[in-house]
Amino acid sequence: MLRSKKRTPLFAKEHITEFMTSTAEASSKHCYLTSEGCKGYTLRMRQRHSVLILTLLLLSIAACSPGHTGGNIIAFLRAGQLWTIDPSGANAFAIVSGGEPVVGYSWSPDHRLIAFRQLDTTFATSSAAKNLPAQPVTGQIADVPSTVNTFGVDGGTPISIALSSPQVYYSNPFWISNGTHLLYRQWGPSHPASQEDVTWWVAQNDQPAGIAAKSLPPLASLPSVEENNQRLAGSSSHGIISTTLAGTNQQDLTRAPLSGHPLPATLERVLWQPGPSQGALLYAVASNGETASTSAPLQLLLRQQNGQTTPLFSCACTQFAWSPNGQMILYSTGSDFTIFSLRDKSSYTVQAEQGSVPYWSPDSRFLLLDGPHTLHLVQPQARQDHVLLSDGQQTARAETSEQVAANTLLQPVPNSLWASDSRHFLFLTHQRLSWQGQKLAGGEGLYAIALGENGQPQGQPTLVASGNTISQAGWTYQNPNTSFLY
């Protein structure tokens, strides 16, 4: 049974003094703009220290209230606040309720820490901030001027690992699987012309304002992290490169740009294989060395640690990702979602909705496809697919792949709908109120459901939190190598 724990005040006087000193030094170290822009950026940071400290003191008031101690806890956003709650619906608590609106968060792998973004104070007053577009299914918000912070779910001191400016944009941070470092994207003041014009940072989760943050070499894709946390990999204008977490000891894994690149941003990925058999890299090239286009199929390749490269299959796909055990690959072509098995090279295709968001269960036995109108539960080994949730509307099957511009800044879904036991998951209704043909009695809201060993839902879903203003619900950490990009 979870027990509430009294939280300690966030900042004593000595902590505030130390924070002001460390952040002033770090702002100059972390600045990436031109020399004049850097001076302005540092000055703005000094001016914002008092505002930031006031915000942190407001957070300390909330921190003195009962909270959670980690474990089996669900998180979500509502009205710009970050909430946690038990799966039963008990112990609802706004763990970040002061200051500017929270626009994104990420569970740590051990479920004890949360990284979150809060809007920059100046930007928060703009019309753009009051009308931020969100991804329809996940609720994700794109890169915005914000602070990037880490926070203990059972209390403690929130640490701003990246300070804000109205002209500095950050992506949602996502955790590297050892739980001590985070990876995030930074750019500004103008939108980058290409993926290689942004800066990727690896920051230590307990060091404020850029201290112990290291930048990576320019990349044309989202960096992928090997699960043993020793290396990162990504594509560049020179080919596939690999570095340490500190961006050092760069190795050129290929000596030429990937054939057909730049592809749509969703396909410019080089993914380390997760699971016990990790070490291989998965990536896409245009078939037959042609330039990528809507008519040219793509070929997915598997590169082993010894450099041997094996073609797996060709597809007209727009997204691909690993399963958590590293033995299956999921890719989408419009409304078709195909699961490819490395063991026997077989494939199984599910017809769902274009734009459905996939969530693998941690044990890779189940797959959720969370779409605009339906929620599918897939069992790859049994080759079964069931529609669990629906709004009753008929959706036309998409015959064409969704195209994304090469300079679109996408990001993975940082949190999973699944509990760590792979037998419970949650879902938001989004006006989908028919559960296996029966109307949900609780109406709009956030629900949780248990599965039996055979994948059958056990009883009726439990209403965790009611209302239609909840977004970005997440139960556990999700490895970016298993997520599509949005």
Per-residue pLDDT tens digits for 296-327: 688 999 999 889 999 999 998 889 999 999 99
- Please compute the mean of the pLDDT values over residues 429-452 and round it to a whole number: 96
In which order are the strands placed within the sheet that holds 424-428?
Answer: 424-428, 445-451, 457-466
Whether 18 shows a pLDDT value over 70: the answer reads no
- Residues 38 and 118: their CA atoms lie apart, in Å, by 22
Q: How confident is the model at residue 367 (pLDDT cuts 50, 70, 90)?
A: very high
pLDDT at 210: 75
Q: Do the beta carbons of residue 429 and residue 440 sit within 8 Å?
A: yes
| Chain segment 273-286, per-residue pLDDT in tens | 998 766 899 999 98
Cβ–Cβ under 8 Å, residues 319 and 484: yes
357 pLDDT above the threshold of 80:
yes
454 CB-near residues (< 8 Å, 6+ apart): none
Is residue 186 pLDDT above 60, yes or no? yes
Q: Which range (118-127, 250-259, 315-324, 373-382) has the least confidence?
A: 250-259
Residue 155's pLDDT band, with cuts at 50, 70 and 90, is low
Q: What average pLDDT does this structure show over 359-385?
A: 97
Taking all residues of the chain, what is their mean pLDDT, rounded to a whole number? 84
8 A C-beta contact, residue 116 and residue 149: yes
Cis peptide before 358 (omega within 30 of 0): no
Would you place residue 224 in the very low, low, confident or very high pLDDT band (cuts 50, 70, 90)? Answer: very high
**pTM attached to this predicted model:** 0.85
The span from the CA of 334 to the CA of 398, in Å, is 6
Contact (CB, 8 A) for 451 and 430? no
pLDDT above 80 (res 333): yes
pLDDT over 60 (residue 137) = yes
Residue 131: what pLDDT? 93
Confidence band, pLDDT 50/70/90 cuts, at residue 352: very high
What proportion of the chain, given as a percentage, has pLDDT over 90? 66
Question: How large is the average pLDDT for residues 72-93?
Answer: 95
Mean pLDDT for 71-78 is 93
Structure tokens at 179: 């739980």
Q: How confident is the model at residue 149 (pLDDT cuts 50, 70, 90)?
A: very high
209 pLDDT tier (thresholds 50, 70, 90): confident
Q: Within 13 Å, how many C-alpha atoms sit on residue 69's CB side?
A: 6
The pLDDT of residue 471 is 97
Using the predicted structure, report yes or no on whether residue 449 has a pLDDT greater than 90.
yes
pLDDT score of 47: 46
High-pLDDT (> 70) share of the chain, %: 80
Nearest to 237 by CA among 218, 257, 217, 253: 257
Range of weakest confidence among 28-42, 127-141, 242-256, 339-353: 28-42
Confidence of residue 46 (pLDDT cuts 50, 70, 90): very low
CA distance 364 to 351: 19
* Domain definitions of the chain by residue range: 1-215
